[in-house]
A and B are shown apart, each in its own frame.
Chain A
Amino acid sequence: MELDELFRSKLDNIEAVPDPAVRHSLMRKLAVKEFLRFNPVRLNIYYAAGIVAAGITAAVLLFSHDDRAEKSEQGTINIKSEIRSDTVSMFYSPAVIRKESQEKTEKQAISQSVVKPDERKRGVQPPQENKSVGVMAADSLKKMEFSPVVSDKTTNANIRKTPVASFKASFLQGCMPLKVSFYNTSVAYDSCKWIFGDGGSSVSVNPEWIYDRPGAYRVVLNVYGGGTVSYATEVITVHPKPSARFEVEPLNPTGGNDAVKFINYSNDAVRYRWDLGDGTVSFAFEPIHRYDRTGKYNIKLTVWSEFGCADSITVINALGGSDYFIEFPNAFIPNRDGPTGGYYSATSDASAHIFHPIASGVVEYQLRIFTRTGILIFESNDINIGWDGYNKGNLCEPGVYVWKVRVTFKNGETYVKMGDVTLLRGN
């Protein structure tokens, strides 16, 4: 019998009994998968999520309902208290009410009135009169927000004039240095004092203050009037300013071949913008740029912190500002009157009779000129000697010649460059 047939006949419809645990774990996996699958007839995750959502909605509805009920309860109590005390002055201050309704010292009254709302929540039932006062106190406290009234000894003459402190600030946060204008919106006060939180203070009504250090400062406004003091407070956040700093490497790129690397030393910054001076703008952390031509470039780096605070630095002549460079012209017109020897100076070669570079900071120099077929026709190891266009006393043919220069600058940097120059026929 063939091997294939043997295996087929024996194993094709063979049955093997898997471990009972396999069935168990399969059914468990199946249950999980079924739970995750939408199925209208079975409990699954969608139903579960629906039930949870419904529960939350119900809870929210119930809670808001409770809240409303509580509010309306408060309303009725307020009305009651108004009717009962039937004095106008009670609207001004809880302290006043206390004074009229019960003859205790003002300080006690305040402390009691502040405690009252808690007692109410805990279900303690104070006497009816106290309760109305407590609710009133809580209400007026809510209205004043940051300006709890601390009252001193009061006289009947200035009962109606209890100061309530409040103010506005032009900025609650900003970048260092931050100049903030404060506007005193307090009512019923005679004098005020501002404490700016960084050690400074002012008695002006609407002062301006400059924060020159990063941090969070608690501004307090105290207003005085009628022998009482009220205060309001606010926090001013001053974000640190990032600092833009960078270096360029190499400082003096000699030609378009050199990639200039900008090394970023900025602090506290998350965003960067580089103006590389040749119209290129980069948003990289440390851009690398090849300038098409050597020259002087002004580089500007602007950085932003995570709070949007900016700083920038511009370095004028960051590149090419130093004295090390060498540049060659692309054409010259030899003097037809005969070889000149190639000496030139910055002013003597106005008519471009000599092929020579403009250079600075060169300590070692080798210039070689080749014909297009690769024959060396001129060599100079002196930067003051250029090529006059003659080879062995004969004027070379007009056309294109190849030059190669090898220089060492004062900073030890060696630089090799090749190019071509066109020899033009003079008149």
Chain B
Amino acid sequence: MLSENEIIEGCARHDRRAQQMLYDRYSRLLFGVCMRYASDRAEAEDILQESFLKIYFSIRDYSGTGSFTGWMRKIVVNTAITHYHRNLKHKHYVEIEDYVSVETGVSSFEEDFFTSDELFKVLNELPPGYRMVFNLYAIEGYKHKEIAEMLGIDINTSKSQYSRAKAALREKLEVLRKLKEKYNAEDNIADLQK
């Protein structure tokens, strides 16, 4: 097994073995990022492929300072944004909810109540615009100003979409929680009856 630095150097030389090894080592982590941004698996796979091609051909630009995974994640995020723009068919379409304030549901959740798969699913169900902003702000940690620049939207749009995204997520999680509690209760009853 090669170390991270050896892989980077190999990829810079366009060494086929290093390129394969880079994929084998990091594809799962980066695919996780792709999954967050994409509406479905197929789109996530497209983003992953594009990102890896970008990584292979611009690996010389990686300065070596800062974490390599962080650098790759940035490329994936940028690719996802490009993808989002390319697939944006209703660019000037504004959700009516953008103008109506909706605050529902509880504000806190227990950490271990939901599995990662469930969170993925809930996130993927969001409208693409909400999902982009929520991902970039809540998980990647970008500022609204940066997000506005990246997505080419107004800073207030970014802010409002983030709060709509949160509201929508809460609602969905609430529904999910009730369902789960119901099933858990049924399971408990079934257990008792045994």
Chain A, interface residues (CB within 8 Å), range:
20 to 34
Contacts of A15 in B (CB 8 A): 28-29, 31-32
Q: Are A8 and B35 in contact, CB atoms less than 8 angstroms apart?
A: no
Contacts of B19 in A (CB 8 A): 27, 30
Does B27 reach chain A (CB closer than 8 Å)?
yes
Q: Are B31 and A6 in contact, CB atoms less than 8 angstroms apart?
A: no
Q: B41, B108, B123, B139: which contacts A2 (Cβ < 8 A)?
A: B108
Q: Are A4 and B138 in contact, CB atoms less than 8 angstroms apart?
A: yes
Q: Are B31 and A16 in contact, CB atoms less than 8 angstroms apart?
A: yes
Those of A306-329 within 8 Å (CB) of chain B: none
Q: Are A14 and B116 in contact, CB atoms less than 8 angstroms apart?
A: yes
With A14-B116, A16-B35 as contacts: A22 and B48 at CB distance below 8 Å = yes
Task: Produce 1/0 per residue, A1-16, CB < 8 A to B.
Answer: 1111011111111111
Q: B53, B56, B139: which contacts A12 (Cβ < 8 A)?
A: B139
Chain A nearest Cβ from B114, distance in angstroms: 7
Those of A90-147 within 8 Å (CB) of chain B: none
With A6-B111, A30-B56 as contacts: A17 and B49 at CB distance below 8 Å = no
Q: B49, B110, B173: which contacts A26 (Cβ < 8 A)?
A: B49
Contacts of A3 in B (CB 8 A): 107, 109, 138, 166, 169-170, 173
Query: By the criterion of a CB under 8 Å from any partner CB, how many residues of chain B are at the interface?
Result: 41
Q: Are A27 and B20 in contact, CB atoms less than 8 angstroms apart?
A: yes
Contacts of B138 in A (CB 8 A): 3-4, 7-8
Roughly how many angstroms separate A1 CA and B134 CA in the complex, as a whole number? 17
Task: Produce 1/0 per residue, A171-190, CB < 8 A to B.
Answer: 00000000000000000000
Does A170 reach chain B (CB closer than 8 Å)?
no
Does A29 reach chain B (CB closer than 8 Å)?
yes
Q: Are B53 and A30 in contact, CB atoms less than 8 angstroms apart?
A: yes
Q: Are B45 and A2 in contact, CB atoms less than 8 angstroms apart?
A: no
Q: Are B28 and A18 in contact, CB atoms less than 8 angstroms apart?
A: yes
Does B52 reach chain A (CB closer than 8 Å)?
yes
Q: Are A1 and B108 in contact, CB atoms less than 8 angstroms apart?
A: yes
Contacts of B60 in A (CB 8 A): none
Does A39 reach chain B (CB closer than 8 Å)?
yes
Does B57 reach chain A (CB closer than 8 Å)?
yes
Closest to A6 in B: B109
Roughly how many angstroms separate A17 CA and B31 CA in the complex, as a whole number? 7
Closest to A23 in B: B23
Q: Are B14 and A34 in contact, CB atoms less than 8 angstroms apart?
A: yes
Does B164 reach chain A (CB closer than 8 Å)?
no
Chain B nearest Cβ from A47, distance in angstroms: 14
Closest to A2 in B: B108
With A1-B109, A18-B31, A26-B23 as contacts: A7 and B49 at CB distance below 8 Å = no
Q: Are B52 and A26 in contact, CB atoms less than 8 angstroms apart?
A: yes
Chain A nearest Cβ from B9, distance in angstroms: 14
Task: Produce 1/0 per residue, B17-29, CB < 8 A to A.
Answer: 0011001100111
Closest to B35 in A: A16
Chain B nearest Cβ from A15, distance in angstroms: 4
Contacts of B52 in A (CB 8 A): 26, 30
Does A84 reach chain B (CB closer than 8 Å)?
no
Chain B nearest Cβ from A27, distance in angstroms: 7
With A7-B139, A10-B119, A13-B32 as contacts: A1 and B53 at CB distance below 8 Å = no
Q: Are A7 and B28 in contact, CB atoms less than 8 angstroms apart?
A: no
Roughly how many angstroms separate A271 CA and B123 CA in the complex, as a whole number? 64
Chain B nearest Cβ from A263, distance in angstroms: 45
Q: Are B123 and A11 in contact, CB atoms less than 8 angstroms apart?
A: yes
Q: Are B123 and A7 in contact, CB atoms less than 8 angstroms apart?
A: yes
- 20 extra A-B contacts, CB within 8 A, seeds A3-B169, A13-B29, A27-B23: A1-B108, A1-B109, A3-B166, A3-B170, A4-B139, A6-B109, A6-B114, A6-B119, A7-B169, A9-B111, A11-B120, A12-B139, A16-B34, A16-B120, A18-B48, A26-B48, A33-B56, A34-B16, A39-B14, A41-B13
> Can you list 15 contacts pairing A with B, beta carbon distance less than 8 Å?
A1-B110, A2-B107, A3-B138, A3-B169, A7-B123, A10-B119, A14-B120, A17-B31, A19-B45, A27-B19, A27-B23, A29-B53, A33-B53, A37-B14, A41-B13
Lowest 10 A-B CB distances belong to which pairs?
A: A15-B28, A14-B32, A4-B138, A18-B31, A16-B32, A16-B31, A26-B49, A22-B45, A10-B116, A16-B35
| Interface residues in chain A, defined as those with a beta carbon under 8 Å from any beta carbon in chain B | 1-4, 6-19, 22-23, 25-27, 29-30, 33-34, 37, 39, 41-42
